[in-house]
Structure 1
Amino acid sequence: MEFKDKVVLITGAAGGIGKTTVRAFYDQGANLALVDLHQNALEVLAADLELSAERVLLIAGDVSQEGDVQRYVQATTERFGRIDIFFNNAGIEGKPGSLVETDAATLDAILDVNVKGSFFGIKHVLGVMLEQKAGSIVNTSSMAGLIGFPALGVYTASKHAVIGLTRVAAQESAHAGIRVNAVCPGPVNTRMMRGIEAGLSTDTESIKSQFASLVGLKRYAEPEEITQVVLFLASDRASYVTGSIYTADGGMTGM
């Protein structure tokens, strides 16, 4: 029960990595504030995982809207009194395509969620944690935040931005005992990868095989494997870890 009575705020909670991370924190005794775009997705999540209403707050919100971010942060502190851990996880892949094929609408959609959403979350949660003089933030970047990736140019840029925000937030908050880190998953068996595969080719199995061939372990991760890295970074076991960028990509960026 490593996280017993800790208050954990998770965005993108109903997605693949979000869901397994919710389960893990809940099983270890945490109180949870869960954010996703649609209320019904959160209600399905809570039902599927059999989450107790006494320990879980469901908040529908758009992370790209600063007012919604302020609202989910305020709702969390009003319900639980503090925020010990923030898993800043919400993100979208957008429509794949080369840079010259990418339209302004795709650019805006990806940057709004992945960059503005991450920034607003850091901004407003850090405000709470600085008053507490304690807290741990884990941002979700990607192996695409470390290397270039053809046909995913804007997504790649957005995840590079998350790494930059992580490093600056860590520097600006370390004096208060707050830790800020990022996890960089490689390909994971989630809806997001299904969307990328389908956006690149109608032969999705071939695309999946090509992605897997780029990974040292020659397979996709399961969401639970990324969750374990998040739990470590959030925990006191990582008490001397801040400003770090943790890859969990099966060796993809190391090959």
Structure 2
Amino acid sequence: MRVLVATAVPVERDAVARAFPGPVPAREVPLPGVVLQRLPGGYDLLAAGVGPALAAASTATALTAAALDGAPYDLVVSAGIGGGFLPDAPLGSLVVADEITAADLGADTPDGFVPVTELGFGTVIHRPPESLVREVVSATGARAGTVLTVSTVTGTAARATALRARHPRALAEAMEGFGVAEAAAVHGVPVLELRAVSNPVGPRDRAAWRIGDALSALTAGFGKLAPALESWKTHDRTH
């Protein structure tokens, strides 16, 4: 199974890589604007950049290169740390998206926020395969729910409350998932998003962040994820 894992920054990519111990180091594969780290077992890791636009562009580059090489990916995973909506997604917990939602793609109006779909354009939600989400929940203990993609990280209680009111199933927010999902959709490749919670969504309080704990949770989650993906490919995708 060929899997592309897209993180925002190298420290997240390296946390994922630590879940795949072995004597063979990652081989670097340069592509236009990005460098893949190729691990044994069919996993390619990509530090795709911060924000939905750069994440989409970098992911699309990797997907296109794989397709041109005649070795397309079976799955794209957007992975990293993110903010969690308390109390449902506490610090250090894992969240898997059953919906990847662009939370601030639309227009502010006197009557409130209007998503871009209600303006007659595009999409704001991508849904990973239900069977895959179930496998991941079972294997990792992650909680399934909506993961929001934002272009501006939430830093106030008012915005956190407004986001949760519009998206009552939201468990986490990050900045790349929707961009990665858009690129995957163009190539017809299934997508998954897995986030480890490093901070609460709301007022910015760096002293309360637990980035190290979240990165460790991300490593542990990926250590359990690979068998789940193989099970999904073997059973659910063939029936």
Question: One fold, TM greater than 0.5?
Answer: no
Question: When you count strand as a share of all residues, which structure comes out higher?
Answer: 2
TM interval, shorter chain, is: 0.3 to 0.5
Question: What TM-score results when the alignment is normalised by the length of structure 1?
Answer: 0.41
Question: What TM-score results when the alignment is normalised by the length of structure 2?
Answer: 0.43
Question: When you count helix as a share of all residues, which structure comes out higher?
Answer: 1
